[in-house]
Amino acid sequence: MLDLLAKYGQKYEPEPGFKPKEVRWAIIFDSKSGFQALVELGQPDQKKNKGRTFNKCPDLSQSELVSGSETKCHFLVETASVVALYNIDAEETKTRDKHRDKHKYFIYLLEKAGKDLENPALATIAEWLKNSKNLEVIQKALTEKKVKPTDKVTLCIDGEFPVEQDYWQNWWRTFRRNMKGESGTENKTLMRCYVTGELALPLKTHPKIEGLAGDGGLASGDVLVGFDKEAYCSYGLDQSANAAISEEAAHAYRTGLNDLLKNHSQRLVKDKAKVVHWYKKSVQKEEDPLMWLEDPPELAALSAQRAARELLKSIQTGARPDIADNYYYALTLSGAKGRVMVRDWMEGQFEQLVLNISQWFDDLEIVQPDGNSPAHYPKFTAVLGSLVAPHLDDLPAPTVAKLWKVAVRGEPIPYAIMAQALTRRKVEIFQPNEKQINMNGMGIIKAYHLRKYRKEDNTIMAEKLKPVLNEDFPSAAYQCGRLMAVLADLQKAALGDVSAGVVQRYYAAASTTPALVLGRLTRNSQFHLNKLDPGLAYWYESKIAAIWQKLQEAPPRTLSLEEQSFFALGYYQQLADMRIKKSTNAEKEKEEVNG
């Protein structure tokens, strides 16, 4: 995993001591007249403007920043509070003094670089930033622009950004090497790098991963490889020497993972989990199967299910040799008290991935409550939402990660997830309006059984379990659910909406002990039949008789949890089937009247 992340990161020419950074503000100087203006970078018209990305900014790791007794900061790019002492008076004395020390170090770096490189521009900027009156003018401009103290700021002089130039880069490399404990490689013993397999000096502490602040991580970043507890160490090794990785390799995997989190990630549930993925060979966004799980706008006119089928067909027929031998890689991550928690790692052939995603949509396909076929296929977050209510925050992170793996790897749906989906459906079924039943939850129940049948190589049953009603489905529990739906609909046709109908009073018992309930409900249904006109009464009576014939013998005495899920599925699909037929009959009657 680390090796693949490092190789991905190498595409961005990573190098320790450098890092891409998003900078929102630039302080503009003129070499003769000094401060000119404060300019917002990036796209100022956007509400959440992140600024402009500078691809190779000087950067110090956390261990470099805290090494020694001197307070340090970054070079050329820092926060507004460090560069201009902006808004530090509102902070506590300790924090205020720390920002003053960082400001002095920022100026020191400019002065030293200017002197060593014989670059008067950097030295001139340093002099202006040392002047309190100049700082007041800059601070006023920052206030007028409503800059946050934590916003990143860089410098521009005579129309050029020093951070974009390369004249300072070798100087910066030398400066870092000469820093006390600059690389964190206090142990000078060469060890085998876990990533490259080559002998190297192990990095003592690893750089932090950014991008998990909204998923349990810290705003300052989280470590993927760390040994800050004694229990994590062995054989007398200190800190990251327990998993020796060179500085170059650590920087490469950090660069790769940071880019993936920023540009190629999907948040499954806030504060729970985030997924990053990439491919061995480049894949266009519109042909990315993992993006289809979130149904991006580009696929609005073409369902994700159809797109998956067509792409799979093109690979299998040899029409797309460019992606036939491709591979995918996916990480499920979350933050945990300053550490990156890897909840899952997946890799495999691209063709198999497309097949699995196509199968995911096929298995989840279910008729809508009103009897119409689904107009679109559910987003992954919508499937997750069908398991809990009212908020996705109630869903445990392991459940989120497991269901994602089920979709990507084509694995069976766990029994516990099916049980959770069934529990939520029971709550919805008890509501007066059955249209509130979440069809994605019913899709999970259907998918659970389909995948179980395939695992058991029971293709006959898998073929009989359909998105819509199958009156011949060979499950007594399913037929009992159908019967319950017909009896409930019969009561509604005879009495209208009642406060506590058949469903609210008897569904729970009927779905667990049908033999004790359904016979009595069927006998009592005669009272409801007598209230209907003969034609409608005959239709209901025929439907009830046909279902009892499917049951052959008496209904089961008890139903297991799996059988209860079939009961719920039969109930749901029977209701949907009756609704679509009622709608069709109403349309015919309307045509006859108008005709």
- Strand-pair partners of 19: 57
User: In this model, does residue 259 exceed pLDDT 70?
Assistant: yes
Residue 495 CA to residue 492 CA, distance in Å, equals: 5
User: In this model, does residue 162 exceed pLDDT 60?
Assistant: yes
Percent of the chain with pLDDT over 70: 92
Q: Which helix (H) or strand (E) holds 34?
A: strand 34-40
Residue 333 CA to residue 509 CA, distance in Å, equals: 42
Per-residue confidence band for 300, with pLDDT thresholds at 50, 70 and 90: very low
Residue 21 CA to residue 51 CA, distance in Å, equals: 9
Sign (positive or negative) of CA dihedral 112, 113, 114, 117 = positive
String of DSSP letters for 269-286 = ETTTEEEEEEESS---GG
- Least confident range of 169-183, 289-303, 380-394: 289-303
User: In this model, does residue 306 exceed pLDDT 90?
Assistant: no
At residue 102, what are phi and psi to the nearest 5 degrees?
A: -65, -40
Q: Which two tokens stand for residue 356?
A: 């699995």
pLDDT of residue 263: 85
pLDDT of residue 140: 94
Percent of the chain with pLDDT over 90: 48
pLDDT of residue 187: 53
The structure tokens 């006998």 sit at: 523
Average pLDDT, the chain: 86
Q: Are 221 and 210 in contact (CB under 8 A)?
A: yes
Average pLDDT score over residue span 473-502: 89
Q: Which helix (H) or strand (E) holds 23?
A: strand 18-23
Per-residue confidence band for 369, with pLDDT thresholds at 50, 70 and 90: confident
- Strand-pair partners of 53: 22
User: In this model, does residue 270 exceed pLDDT 80?
Assistant: no
Q: Are 325 and 279 in contact (CB under 8 A)?
A: no
- Render pLDDT for 528-559 as a digit per residue (tens, 0 to 9): 999 999 999 999 999 999 999 999 878 999 99
Residue 9 CA to residue 31 CA, distance in Å, equals: 38
User: Which among 241-245, 475-479, 504-508 has the top mean pLDDT?
Assistant: 475-479
Per-residue confidence band for 157, with pLDDT thresholds at 50, 70 and 90: very high
Per-residue confidence band for 305, with pLDDT thresholds at 50, 70 and 90: low
Per-residue confidence band for 584, with pLDDT thresholds at 50, 70 and 90: low
pLDDT of residue 301: 41
Per-residue confidence band for 65, with pLDDT thresholds at 50, 70 and 90: confident
The structure tokens 């007028």 sit at: 144
pLDDT of residue 396: 85
User: In this model, does residue 581 exceed pLDDT 60?
Assistant: yes
Q: Which two tokens stand for residue 454?
A: 């395939």
- Render pLDDT for 396-439 as a digit per residue (tens, 0 to 9): 888 888 999 999 999 999 999 999 999 998 888 877 665 578 89
pLDDT of residue 182: 43
- Give the three-state DSSP class for 529: helix
At residue 355, what are phi and psi to the nearest 5 degrees?
A: -60, -45
Q: Are 478 and 569 in contact (CB under 8 A)?
A: yes
pLDDT of residue 389: 72
Average pLDDT score over residue span 307-330: 81
Cα Rg of the chain (Å, integer): 32
User: Which among 7-11, 491-495, 535-539, 566-570 has the top mean pLDDT?
Assistant: 566-570
Strands of the sheet containing 78-79, edge to edge, are: 34-40, 25-30, 152-157, 78-79
User: In this model, does residue 525 exceed pLDDT 60?
Assistant: yes
Sign (positive or negative) of CA dihedral 107, 110, 114, 115 = positive
Contacts of residue 303, defined as CB under 8 A and 6 or more positions apart, other chains included, come to 361, 376, 377
Residue 558 CA to residue 548 CA, distance in Å, equals: 17
- Give the three-state DSSP class for 35: strand
Residue 83 CA to residue 304 CA, distance in Å, equals: 49
Average pLDDT score over residue span 441-469: 94
- Render pLDDT for 95-144 as a digit per residue (tens, 0 to 9): 888 999 999 999 999 999 999 999 889 999 999 998 889 999 999 999 99
Per-residue confidence band for 303, with pLDDT thresholds at 50, 70 and 90: low
Per-residue confidence band for 352, with pLDDT thresholds at 50, 70 and 90: very high
CA angle 372, 375, 381 (to 5 degrees): 115
Q: Are 313 and 243 in contact (CB under 8 A)?
A: no
pLDDT of residue 289: 84
User: In terms of C-beta distances under 8 Å and separation of at least 24 residues, what long-range contacts does 317-325 make, across chains too?
Assistant: 322/281, 323/281, 323/283, 323/287, 323/350, 324/350, 324/351, 325/349, 325/350
User: In this model, does residue 186 exceed pLDDT 70?
Assistant: no
Q: Which helix (H) or strand (E) holds 332?
A: strand 327-336
Can you give the pTM of this predicted structure?
Answer: 0.75
